[in-house]
Chain A
């Protein structure tokens, strides 16, 4: 396994901060996310960030393409936050939450979400670049800015 270089490390940090900012837009907006119950009946633990990204990204990449991206993001994220490996994505792109996720505390959930969203954004940046990714994100959160990505 290669040792991540400085650039890679600082990119990861920026993405973490960017993901945090997006989560903050959702959680500090005063409107709690009313997640749909997954097929297994366990409630969603993540904020609305993923759900809001799902629509435009699935339209853009197609359902299969979107599932592939999310699966890869979960796999990458599992290396840091193990419970992400227990999440599944269904045919429509919704996340399936297993029973164990109900036991997670807020800190664990927030940490997992930051890692997962940043991995997803990181994959997008790898494929389509930071500028195009930012424009896609701004389609959902118009207040998101390049400073959010760079800070």
Chain B
């Protein structure tokens, strides 16, 4: 008798909706710095996308960057031109960019001109030719440039005909596992109820506007199926490396919060540390506000130098002064900024004035912070920063500053910004930027008239999460830098107005020698 094992049919486990295997959508890199982050990780594989915008805004360059970033021997790319820039001219100009790799030409990247096919055989002919080339090459990336011109050139073509063409193209290319980009010159009014845009999985909109004397370029991911992109308009720039995008989140959205154990940092000025209740908290944003010549930069330099002494690398972003002058001035106070720069403990960024975009500038600062692992950052000054921006970007200044401060301080970087305030003798303004809300701590410097002299006082106005001295103290700038010299004054009333009133006994004033030299060039 055979001993047959009874076969018990295996029951398949019931699918658990929460654990059902979802299709994994891979993401292709764009080859554009900053854009992958904006797109939520990259371009969804096999998606059908439209790159739209006006003439000269970088559509073709973006498409080329995507093509050259992804094409290789196993995954070739096909670039079809229908109506628009002739390929030979496109190659002439695009090869100027660093991403252009001529070795890929006609191997992993093939350009195919279909202008004649379009003229002679219309949409059907174009579709047929694209299909035959795609079947031959099995490309991973397909670009059709410039698509919208096709519909314009075929003015007789109805919307239905164009939509049908795009649908067939999308269906065909998706089934051939190609990630596709149609390039189109669209104006905003073209987008309303546009069936072509409805078919697309992704819509990348490039904008270029001239504001006063500068050009502002921005991009928007209007639509992206299957993944979350960063909403809103993002600045981009076109340089020798092609496009570079600057995400509104500056790539720091996922950073951890402020350190739970809050350590105090010395400003490098013992009396000021005492006024601050022992120093400022690591990860705070400090605003030093004061009029011109009151010693804001000196204070900032001492803050950064103290950090270096304590093994905390620092970055100084300056806008009004060149690094050499900045270093020399620090030297006159006995602070050596040269050696730490050579040892990569300090970076002095001189951000060239005018025509900068705010996000681009912030990206430069963030890159520098990341490069040396900076723990302290000085922005000297906010007014200079704003002036360095192209006029069109100044409207975004506060918002971008808010994002950058938030991102940096959340990452544990302590930020000290200086701001020049116009001296008023009736009030004590902190800044005309209304940025006090951005800062955890505010140190206010001001001039006062005392005993026939223009002297300087310092007061800690705000210290988030900590008590601080309420004293108004006099300070001087000496060869040792910012030095708080006197205890609080009780014999005067109205010090913060700048024109105090003597309420105590008047002492005979001693003769005072001429002031010390602050800085020798």
Interface set of A (CB-CB < 8 Å, partner B): 56, 59-65, 69, 127-129, 131-132, 135-136, 139
Please, could you name 21 A-B residue pairs with CB atoms under 8 Å apart, sorted by A?
Answer: A59-B110, A60-B87, A60-B106, A60-B112, A61-B88, A62-B87, A63-B113, A64-B115, A64-B116, A65-B86, A65-B87, A127-B92, A128-B88, A128-B92, A129-B95, A132-B91, A135-B103, A135-B105, A136-B105, A139-B105, A139-B106
8 smallest beta-carbon distances between A and B, as pairs: A62-B113, A139-B106, A63-B116, A128-B91, A132-B102, A135-B102, A135-B105, A62-B115
* B contacts with A: majority SS: mixed
- Is residue B107 within 8 Å, beta carbon to beta carbon, of the partner chain? yes
Bound-state CA distance A10–B112 (Å) is 33
Q: In the complex, which residues of chain B have a beta carbon less than 8 angstroms from the beta carbon of A131?
A: 95, 102
- Is residue B172 within 8 Å, beta carbon to beta carbon, of the partner chain? no
- Is residue B114 within 8 Å, beta carbon to beta carbon, of the partner chain? yes
Q: Are B86 and A61 in contact (CB under 8 A)?
A: yes
> Apart from A59-B112, A128-B95, what are 17 other A-B pairs with CB-CB below 8 Å?
A60-B112, A60-B113, A61-B86, A61-B88, A61-B113, A62-B87, A62-B113, A62-B115, A64-B115, A64-B116, A127-B88, A127-B89, A128-B88, A128-B92, A129-B95, A132-B91, A132-B95
Interface set of B (CB-CB < 8 Å, partner A): 81, 86-89, 91-92, 95, 102-103, 105-107, 110-116
Bound-state CA distance A128–B112 (Å) is 16
Q: In the complex, which residues of chain B have a beta carbon less than 8 angstroms from the beta carbon of A132?
A: 91, 95, 102, 105
Chain A: minimal CB distance from B276 (Å): 61
Across the interface, name the chain B residue whose C-beta is closest to A56. Answer: B106
* A contacts with B: majority SS: helix
Q: In the complex, which residues of chain B have a beta carbon less than 8 angstroms from the beta carbon of A139?
A: 105-107
Bound-state CA distance A62–B107 (Å) is 18
Q: In the complex, which residues of chain A have a beta carbon less than 8 angstroms from the beta carbon of B105?
A: 132, 135-136, 139
Contact of A60 among B88, B103, B116 (CB under 8 A): B88
Bound-state CA distance A60–B88 (Å) is 7
Across the interface, name the chain A residue whose C-beta is closest to B133. Answer: A59
Q: In the complex, which residues of chain A have a beta carbon less than 8 angstroms from the beta carbon of B88?
A: 60-61, 65, 69, 127-128
Bound-state CA distance A118–B87 (Å) is 21
Q: In the complex, which residues of chain B have a beta carbon less than 8 angstroms from the beta carbon of A127?
A: 88-89, 91-92
Chain B: minimal CB distance from A52 (Å): 13
Q: In the complex, which residues of chain A have a beta carbon less than 8 angstroms from the beta carbon of B103?
A: 135
Bound-state CA distance A64–B117 (Å) is 11
Chain B: minimal CB distance from A70 (Å): 13
Contact of B113 among A59, A128, A135, A136 (CB under 8 A): A59
Contact of B114 among A56, A62, A69, A128 (CB under 8 A): A62
Q: In the complex, which residues of chain B have a beta carbon less than 8 angstroms from the beta carbon of A61?
A: 86-88, 113
